[in-house]
Amino acid sequence: MNDGKKVGVPQRFTLAARLKSFSYALQGVWFMLKTQHNAWLHGLATLLVIALAVSCQVSASDWRWLTVAMAMVWVAETLNTAVEYVCDVVSPGYSEAVKHAKDISAGGVLIAAVAALLVGVLTFWPYFT
């Protein structure tokens, strides 16, 4: 969306414009949460990790790693959702190339989720041994 601004012309910095951009970002996250079932699973996993970390009283260093792992999965899921929506607009019919793009994007989420699981196991392991 151009919002009537000239393309390539730097816009003045204003607090109102920054707040508006945050609003757009939050709308995107909210839309993803409303429409993507996998985002619900990531949300549940996030809440479980937070609850377990609080109950185990994990160290600040461990919180750092858990936060990075959770954020990594959320970033991957948001990018995957964006890729899927763009692909659906660009090619509403079936396309083998679009299928590959969507599969690759979903693979990025899988890689992030597996890495986050490993971070979680390695982080929580000492608290249970």
Is residue 38 within 8 Å of residue 76, measured between CB atoms? no
Distance CA 32, CA 123 (A): 29
Distance CA 19, CA 22 (A): 5
Distance CA 27, CA 90 (A): 22
Burial of 66: CB neighbours in 10 Å, binned 0-12, 13-18, 19+: buried
Positions annotated as catalytic residues are 77
Q: Is 17 helix (H, G, I), strand (E, B) or coil?
A: helix
